[in-house]
Chain A
């Protein structure tokens, strides 16, 4: 059975991580900070098969003017990740070409955390369409890959997923996204099949450290599968920092760290003017 990866955060997430790592069944991802900068990532998608094309607006905080507008977004379309400063955003969908000031048919709030990635997608049927915020952050066990499936097909509204020859125990229902499943790292076939016919297969390059989503869509004849690369990390994450210094400049004014501003510089100044330690000369 494939292990499931949850991207929970905060103290509860840490507790879950400790528990699940012990049992070895689930791999939680507490504090799954991604990139270092003060930005996060959002991509926007229309995954509702019988909903007409939409204009997607993204507003920062309570701003009236959108930060981003995607026009005529059809079913199946998905933007690349957009880098956004951390903070609160609102995503709204209007019928294509509806005035920007008109009332949106859908809207949702999304909080972008530092380094985190999200997919905000209109999902479900036209009559019950919802904007879902999916967390695309997953911390992987060393050497593994992860796969998630989004079911966005009305033609085949329930599918079973088979990845690398193993069938996931729970079928995926229309309008749902699975958690990330930890899978062996290799390029592999992912098959989705309905109970009463209708199936499709896609080759997914699940390299070590890569996180993918396969979206099940209605095609011209039968299903169409879209393979998305969500995030990637290295195959093996080293523990801790790295000892990149031999001490030849230690204590000298031109030594490492003095150039860092603020508290670091102040602390170093204290260190420099403090106890005199015999030092080797840095530069001849």
Chain B
């Protein structure tokens, strides 16, 4: 197996970054060529990935299921639970979290249905791995994600760490409802969660 393209690129990056390094001095007693102590080396710091600086998101588009929606800002209620969008036809971004495109898991939620019919995320559970999700921010910046996984969990076992837990890279989660509708509580018993990663 050959190293992947990304791996080669990474190697090149480091090789480039290493140009300033002190070359190893070799001694006759060294059992391995190039392997002996090098006193007084100065650190060659490699460039780190730039930190995202995106504005608040204002629109989400998921072409494969025909979703085009502006975004409401979502917060949490007195119990600390995420408040769903007020309008069934509009998705919402959890504004107490991460902006899409910035490092960490950004969260967008939308209703699966209204009281009388479909809503913005009715088709979310149909999304296939590899599908595109595009988020536009308030400055017109566009961030592209690719669907990595679509999963369904009972709300009683919501995977908080997987949805909201820390990540090194920019990620996106799309959440709606699924499973049976509990008429006593007036809510669906499951959440359908789409996990998406930066495209390309």
Q: Do the two chains belong together in a single complex?
A: yes
What residues of chain A have their CB less than 8 Å away from a CB belonging to chain B? 31-38, 41, 49-53, 63, 65-83, 95-98, 105, 115, 117, 125-127, 136-140, 152, 205, 209, 211, 217-220, 224, 226, 228-251, 254-257, 259-260, 264, 267-268, 271, 277, 280-284
Kindly list chain A residues whose C-beta atoms are within 8 Å of the C-beta of B190: 257
Which of chain B's residues has its CB closest to A220's CB?
B42
Query: Judging by beta carbons under 8 Å apart, are A248 and B166 in contact?
Result: no
Which candidate, B12-20, B55-63, B132-140, is the interface stretch facing chain A?
B12-20
Kindly list chain B residues whose C-beta atoms are within 8 Å of the C-beta of A78: 45-46, 48
- Given contact pairs A211-B166, A245-B113, A247-B113, a sample of 12 additional A-B residue pairs in the complex whose CB atoms are under 8 Å apart: A53-B24, A63-B1, A69-B3, A97-B34, A98-B34, A233-B167, A240-B81, A241-B153, A244-B110, A246-B114, A260-B125, A282-B113
Sort A-B residue pairs by CB-CB distance and give the 10 closest, nearest first. Answer: A76-B43, A74-B21, A234-B97, A52-B24, A250-B181, A245-B177, A232-B104, A231-B166, A217-B43, A257-B178
Measured between alpha carbons, how far is A277 from B181 in the docked complex, in Å? 11
Measured between alpha carbons, how far is A268 from B189 in the docked complex, in Å? 12
Measured between alpha carbons, how far is A280 from B116 in the docked complex, in Å? 7
Once A70-B11, A232-B98, A245-B187 are accepted as A-B contacts, the answer to whether A117 and B114 lie under 8 Å apart by CB is no
Query: Judging by beta carbons under 8 Å apart, are A81 and B178 in contact?
Result: no
Chain B residues 107 to 140 lying within 8 A of chain A, measured CB to CB, are 107, 109-119, 121-123, 125-126
Kindly list chain A residues whose C-beta atoms are within 8 Å of the C-beta of B29: none
Query: Judging by beta carbons under 8 Å apart, are A68 and B3 in contact?
Result: yes
Which of chain A's residues has its CB closest to B31's CB?
A105
**Interface of A, helix, strand, loop or mixed by DSSP:** loop
Kindly list chain A residues whose C-beta atoms are within 8 Å of the C-beta of B149: 36-38
Query: Judging by beta carbons under 8 Å apart, are A245 and B32 in contact?
Result: no
Which of chain B's residues has its CB closest to A77's CB?
B46
Kindly list chain B residues whose C-beta atoms are within 8 Å of the C-beta of A228: 48
Chain B residues 1 to 50 lying within 8 A of chain A, measured CB to CB, are 1-4, 6-7, 10-11, 13-15, 17-18, 20-24, 32-46, 48-49
Whether B96 is near chain A, meaning CB under 8 Å from some CB there, is yes
Measured between alpha carbons, how far is A243 from B18 in the docked complex, in Å? 52
Kindly list chain A residues whose C-beta atoms are within 8 Å of the C-beta of B180: 250, 268, 271
Chain B residues 159 to 199 lying within 8 A of chain A, measured CB to CB, are 159-169, 171, 173, 175-181, 183, 186-188, 190-193, 195, 197
What residues of chain B have their CB less than 8 Å away from a CB belonging to chain A? 1-4, 6-7, 10-11, 13-15, 17-18, 20-24, 32-46, 48-49, 51, 76, 79-85, 88, 94, 96-98, 102-105, 107, 109-119, 121-123, 125-126, 148-153, 155, 158-169, 171, 173, 175-181, 183, 186-188, 190-193, 195, 197
Which of A36, A126, A234, A267 is close to B38, meaning CB atoms less than 8 Å apart?
A126
Kindly list chain A residues whose C-beta atoms are within 8 Å of the C-beta of B111: 244-246
Once A209-B166, A256-B113, A282-B117 are accepted as A-B contacts, the answer to whether A76 and B44 lie under 8 Å apart by CB is yes
Kindly list chain B residues whose C-beta atoms are within 8 Å of the C-beta of A233: 97-98, 104-105, 164-167
Which of chain B's residues has its CB closest to A243's CB?
B187
Which of chain B's residues has its CB closest to A103's CB?
B32
Measured between alpha carbons, how far is A281 from B177 in the docked complex, in Å? 18
Which of chain B's residues has its CB closest to A143's CB?
B96
Interface centre among B13, B105, B115 (most CB of A within 10 A): B105
Once A68-B3, A211-B166 are accepted as A-B contacts, the answer to whether A244 and B175 lie under 8 Å apart by CB is yes
Measured between alpha carbons, how far is A79 from B7 in the docked complex, in Å? 10
